[in-house]
Amino acid sequence: MRVPGVHEHPAVADRDGPGHGLLVVQLRDVRGYHGRRRRRRSAPRQRPGVLGRGRVHRRRLPGLALRVRGRRRLQEAGGAGVNTAVLFDRYGDPGVLYPAEVPDPVAGPGQVVVRHTAIGVNPIDWKILSGEVRAYVPMDLPGGCLGVEGAGVVVEVGAGVRRFRVGDRVIRHGRPGAFREYEAVAASQEADELTLCPDRFSDEQAAVLPVAAGTAYSALRQVGLRPGERLLVHGASGGVGLAVVRLALLLGAGEVVGTASPARHGLVRAAGATPVGYGEGLAQRLAEHGPFHASVDCAGGAEPTGAAVRLVAGADRRVTIVPDAAAQARGVRFLEHLPLELSSTLDLIGTAPFELPIAARYPLEQAGEALAHSLRGGVGGKIVLVPGGEARRRATP
Ligand SMILES: NC(=O)c1ccc[n+]([C@@H]2O[C@H](COP(=O)([O-])OP(=O)(O)OC[C@H]3O[C@@H](n4cnc5c(N)ncnc54)[C@H](OP(=O)(O)O)[C@@H]3O)[C@@H](O)[C@H]2O)c1
């Protein structure tokens, strides 16, 4: 039976069997209980949560026999606790980010609520934060929220949603807003914000797939890479660059040559490409491995552009993922993302080995530090944020 604002927490339901699940009660939606709850000194501010220790009176929630076990139990199950979001009120550097307690989202029609278990950090986050891309990624300020990818579990399903059920592991991608523990996400295929997570991917791996692997997939399709061809990848040691190398090999590339700093040549080699150091004389060094059939530039700048133009014939076989008018003027086309990019990427990967190195993990509350890390560069893989509830759940024996 479904009562507005009340849902069974899947983790506990799974563990205890039908009829014994802990019920999460969204206090603001349960008439008659809200006021009483607010009078309790220990009540958590604002957020819907668990009804503490004690029992729920049937007359207040008619038809439901509830067994409520207390807040701590639910937190152990990875459920409600404090819904943390990392927000910003003005454009600036990572120091302007601050953690805040925000109300739990409610799944509206066509939406699901996702509890994030891992959230990916990307250069686009600090680009949005600085305001440099505000023309095409405008943010509602104050209270802006970054984060364009994450993985999690569906904890509530809104009216009309058929694609997802409570308990599904999902990958969230697209518009900014993932730097929060619980989020309402559009569930339709057309919205293209949510994809079922294949079992084989860990939460962290799933969280970092959309930007790195999705972008890599679109880039490789755009240059039309064919089996046996030689590919040049600039910035091959970055999140997207490593994914380009891995997917190119899955597409049957004959050889992949990737530019990176010497400290990260091992990473590039482990992904399956031949590393070449970037910097002065790049085109000459690359010429020893070329010419190439196609190139993907994940670094940007005059030298990578010059090398691509010199060593790859035809503008339709060169792409850059870094917006750069000069590169486009010289015949390196800018990336166009394909529709349903992530599902196509997952189809291509199938059951093949595919893992991106996780270079660093930060608690969600430390998103500012994580962004500063990405901004400094030299990451050598992906950075992930771990929400507090998830960290607590993982710490539970
Ligand atoms: N258009 C899109 O939709 C789209 C999507 C995703 C990303 N991007 C953009 O693409 C860029 C890369 O993203 P990412 O997530 O891969 O970032 P990342 O993980 O921070 O990687 C950046 C990479 O660039 C390399 N690099 C820096 N200077 C270089 C140079 N002169 N020559 C060759 N490589 C150089 C770094 O190599 P070392 O660490 O070895 O120094 C590093 O591997 C960012 O600007 C991002 O905003 C665009």
The pLDDT value recorded for residue 391 is: 66
- Atom of ligand 1 lying closest to residue 321 CA: 1
Question: What is the domain partition of the chain in residue ranges?
Answer: 6-76, 84-203+360-395, 211-349
| In contact, 88 and 96? CB cutoff 8 Å | yes
Query: What SS3 class is residue 223?
Result: coil
The pLDDT value recorded for residue 344 is: 97
Q: Determine whether the shortest distance from the Cβ of 321 to ligand 1 is under 6 A.
A: yes
Angstrom distance (rounded) from CA 33 to CA 315: 65
Which mean pLDDT values do the consecutive 10-residue runs of the chain (397 residues) have?
31 30 32 34 37 32 29 39 90 98 95 98 98 96 98 98 98 98 97 97 98 98 98 98 98 98 98 96 95 98 97 97 96 97 97 97 98 97 91 60
Q: In a mutational test of the pocket of ligand 1, which residue from 298, 319, 334, 341 has the highest number of ligand atoms less than 8 Å from its CB?
A: 298
Angstrom distance (rounded) from CA 241 to CA 30: 49
Angstrom distance (rounded) from CA 97 to CA 102: 15
Q: Determine whether the shortest distance from the Cβ of 381 to ligand 1 is under 6 A.
A: no
Q: Determine whether the shortest distance from the Cβ of 298 to ligand 1 is under 6 A.
A: yes
Q: Determine whether the shortest distance from the Cβ of 237 to ligand 1 is under 6 A.
A: yes
Q: What string of H, E and C letters represents the secondary structure of 172-186?
A: EECCCCCCECEEEEE
Q: Determine whether the shortest distance from the Cβ of 312 to ligand 1 is under 6 A.
A: no
Q: Determine whether the shortest distance from the Cβ of 294 to ligand 1 is under 6 A.
A: no
Distance 382 CA to ligand 1 centre (A): 11
Helices 341-349 and 239-250: crossing angle in degrees, nearest 10, is: 50
Residue 231 carries which DSSP code?
E
The pLDDT value recorded for residue 60 is: 33
Task: For the beta carbon of residue 391, count every other beta carbon within 10 angstroms.
Answer: 15
The pLDDT value recorded for residue 394 is: 64
CATH 3.40.50.720 describes domain 211-349: yes
Q: What element of type H or E holds 275? A: strand 274-277
The pLDDT value recorded for residue 46 is: 35
Which CATH number among 3.90.180.10, 3.40.50.300, 2.60.220.30, 3.20.20.210 corresponds to the domain 84-203+360-395? Answer: 3.90.180.10
Distance 314 CA to ligand 1 centre (A): 23
